[in-house]
Structure 1
Amino acid sequence: MKDNFNVFALVVVKNEGDIIFDTIESATKWADKIFVIDNMSTDNTWEKLNALKDKYDNVILWGQYGGKFNEGLRQILYREYRGFSSENDWWCRLDGDEFYIDNPKDFLKNLPTDVDHVYNASFQYYYTEQDYRNELNLSDCAELNYNRLKWYKCNHSEIRFVKNKRTLCWPQEEGWPCNLLKAASGRIRLKHFQYRTIEQIKNRFLVRSREMSGDTFKHEIVSEEVWYKRRGFSLPNDDELKKHRIVSATDLSDSEKYEYTDTELPKIVHINFKKRIKCLVVALYMKFFNDFLFKL
């Protein structure tokens, strides 16, 4: 693949004030533009985002959105800012609590030209019993930085990058375009600090509740027993530990090599013949539609 392409990060964030500055600052090293929607945060996230905008020219704030979170918010960013993009640039979903292990620019430039989307290998950091005890012994929890967490499990994978094409069809309220054809065979690695303090964990489940986010996070808003079972973790005997999704370190890894095997992760979905035909029809329609608009 050619080296002269841009990467545009799409960020939808809510109440990530303790980590969002570091997340976006890290992404400024590889993203050409970072477009951000704040879902009406009630902590200091919005203030942190404005500080980032003032510090970095490539951080662009769309503004604040007051409705329920939905996956289509990234489509709003794409629709608003796709004029920045050219053929073969890339769109990235960047969550407010994650950091890339692999440099995306280096990873993407080595892909075959026919690849149009990339899955991640997400090293998910969990809150352990020791983290919990350490927090209880602290008088000032403001000292609890996410960098202190070291126990993770690589157990999640989903699409994180999509190549920009003239025929790209991204329906409103959908998480990604509908006419993607070929996934990269390898996955790009990232660290995901989803559980950081007891207070943050409580807030995480609150903002992801059905009342505030509909069914978007139904994979996470489940009974405690189901949550532990789906992730392959031992169920604690202590109800307080279960309530906060505290995990035993024996179920996790702290290796700094960040190695994984595909069998640990959901399968990369390869497009079958029927889907390819559907995508081709969509692509032809989009090409005709775009050509028609261009002639107007």
Structure 2
Amino acid sequence: MKLYAICLVKNEDDVIGQTLAHAARYCDGIFVIDNGSTDGTWDIVRDLAARDPRIVAFARTLEPYDDALRWPPYEEYHGRLSDDDWWLILDGDEFLAEDPRPVIAEASREPAEVINAWQIQFYYTEKDHAAWLAGEDTRDRPIFERRRHYRIDWQEPRLFRNRREGTWEDAYLRRKLPAPRGEDGQEGPVRVGRIARRKILNRHFQYRDPEQIEKRLRLRYGHAKFAAQVDSTDWRTKMRSSRHLHCHRPGERWHFSASGLTYYYSSWMRYVLKSRVQRAQRRFAEVIG
């Protein structure tokens, strides 16, 4: 079994080097696609690719963001790989919290074709900001040390078994996935096949410091796709109170919270109910039409 990652990035120059170095611990190949970065992200990727053959600076594109931008590496390489190999969908600010290989081995024995990930969402807190103002929080330190406050509140497919035959469209379905509260369902790939019983844990550092948060918000502000998530370019709107989050320390287990699970399952139920209503409406329209 081999594992290959597809990483779609945009303006992650403060963290992409750490992301790829971490993924290289367990991936046999990492295909990076840059979606129009205007900072040093692509230069960092190319530099790392020149020194590590597992990292591939696959392509740059200026097309509007779409999940389908990830799939060219799959289309090019899946026929050369084994049906026992797997793919990881990785964002430029994410780090798996555990070695995926034992999880994949367990899923393969079931046998399953999809592994869902619990998203460990890290937040920028008042404690982090105090350290930032005091000059104690700098980008020279690993992101694991800088951001420790988190909530586990989302789950989505991230690992998929390779299929040698057919195309990406043959191997995957596209349907509405539940989206965070306040958003409509978003188009996303859902693997045809059995979902593994065991979930993997994935760390997501989307809010790292004031400069990065503001850059992230400005990139998304005014775009219809992110309208429900981003209604301001003020980084302070994304700062959270540490009192409502878990604080992770090295060696500790990850903790689920009632608020995080409630957030996820309520979002999921809203999606299910909405889907059933829409399906009933379509059937009714067919009957009377």
- Residue of structure 2 in register with 1:136 after alignment: 133
Cα distance in structure 2, aligned partners of 1:178 and 1:192 = 20
Secondary structure, aligned partner of 2:71: helix
DSSP-derived class of the 2:46 partner: helix
- Cα deviation, residue 75, structure 1: 1.5
**Which one of 176, 181, 194 corresponds to residue 182 of structure 1?**
194
Q: Which residue of 2 aligns with 1:285?
A: none
Deviation at 1:98, TM superposition (A): 1.2
Match of residue 122 from structure 1: 119
Q: In structure 2, how many angstroms separate the alpha carbons of the residues matched to 1:159 and 1:258?
A: 19
Equivalent in the alignment of 1:43: 39
* 8 Å CA contact retained: 2:31, 2:58: yes
Q: Which amino acid aligns with 2:56?
A: I
Deviation at 1:76, TM superposition (A): 2.2
1-structure distance, mates of 2:230, 2:139? 27
Write the letter of the residue equivalent to 2:105. Answer: K
In 1, the alpha carbon distance for the partners of 2:190 and 2:142 equals 38
Change (3 A) 1:168 1:193: farther
Q: Are 1:250 and 2:243 counterparts? A: yes
Of residues 139-148 and 35-44 in structure 1, the stretch that sits farther from structure 2 once superposed is: 139-148
Consecutive unaligned residues in structure 2, runs of 5 or more:
175-186, 269-289
In 2, distance between residues paired with 1:139 and 1:148?
Answer: 10
The residue type equivalent to 2:93 in the other structure is D
Residue 62 of structure 2 is matched in structure 1 by: 66
When normalised by structure 1's length, the TM-score is 0.74
Does structure 1 conserve the Cα–Cα contact (< 8 Å) formed by 2:210 and 2:235?
no
Give the 3 Å change call, closer, same or farther, for CA 139–108 of structure 1 in structure 2. closer
Distance 1:140 1:105, change over 3 A: closer
Aligned-pair identity (%): 29
**What letter corresponds to residue 125 of structure 2 in structure 1?**
T
**1:284 — aligned with what?**
none
> How much has 1:113 moved relative to structure 2?
3.9
- Contact between 2:12 and 2:92, CA under 8 Å: does it hold in 1? yes
- Describe how 1:136-215 pairs up with structure 2 within 5 A: 136-138=133-135, 142-143=139-140, 145-146=142-143, 147-166=145-164, 170-171=168-169, 177=189, 180-211=192-223, 215=225
| Mapping 1:199-238, distance limit 5 Å | 199-211=211-223, 215=225, 217-218=226-227, 220-222=229-231
Task: State the Cα distance separating 1:242 from its structure 2 match.
Answer: 4.4
Amino acid at match of 2:69: L
Structure number with the higher strand fraction is 2
TM-score, normalising length from structure 2? 0.75
| Structure 1: tracts of 5 or more residues without a match | 225-239, 270-296
Tell whether the 8 Å contact from 2:81 to 2:164 is kept in structure 1 after alignment. Answer: no
> RMSD in angstroms over aligned alpha carbons?
3.0
Check whether the contact 2:173–2:190 (CA below 8 A) recurs between aligned residues: no
